[in-house]
Amino acid sequence: MEESVKFGRLAEAHFESGLLCAESVVSAIAEYQGVDEHLASKMATGFCSGMARTCGPCGALSGAVMGISLVLGRESLSDTVSTTYEATQELVEKFESEFGAKDCHKLLGCDIGTEEGMEYFRSHNLRSNCSNYTRKAAQIAVQILSKNA
């Protein structure tokens, strides 16, 4: 099985077991990199649900950006940001191309920061969409990271 598919499925399994979107993606990428996934998951919590239900970027996408930065981010002030930025831009472009948006409320068609939005989310079983975003964000990130290894 291709590595990106494996870690995409791992992220989805994390999500299905109770982790939230950003937590699931960054945990899978941390495992891919051999880094403590529990600390990575903890760092990601505020990014879940479109930055804590504020209609921000999709949490799965945010978790993937954190994962890319975990692997490619600068280690010293003299390091360049170009590799990380290029990988992040590619991730965002591919995610948006796949799903038509990058912000949580646009992807879901509702604002989950409101009672009405959460009711819509539940009644339309949109959690399954989030599971898909989680799997695909991790898969895209690992594809990009494997090219930069």
> What is the structure's pLDDT at 148?
86
β-bridge mates for residue 103, sequence order: 57
Secondary-structure percent of the chain, ordered helix, strand, coil, rounded to 5: 75, 0, 25
Containing structural domain, residue 42: 3-147
Phi, psi of 74, deg, nearest 5: -65, 145
pLDDT in tens, the chain (149 residues): 699 999 999 999 999 999 999 999 999 999 999 999 899 999 999 999 999 999 999 999 999 999 999 999 999 999 999 999 999 999 999 999 999 999 999 999 999 999 999 999 999 999 999 999 999 999 999 999 999 86
Phi, psi of 103, deg, nearest 5: -95, 140
> What is the structure's pLDDT at 1?
63
Count how many domains the chain has. Answer: 1
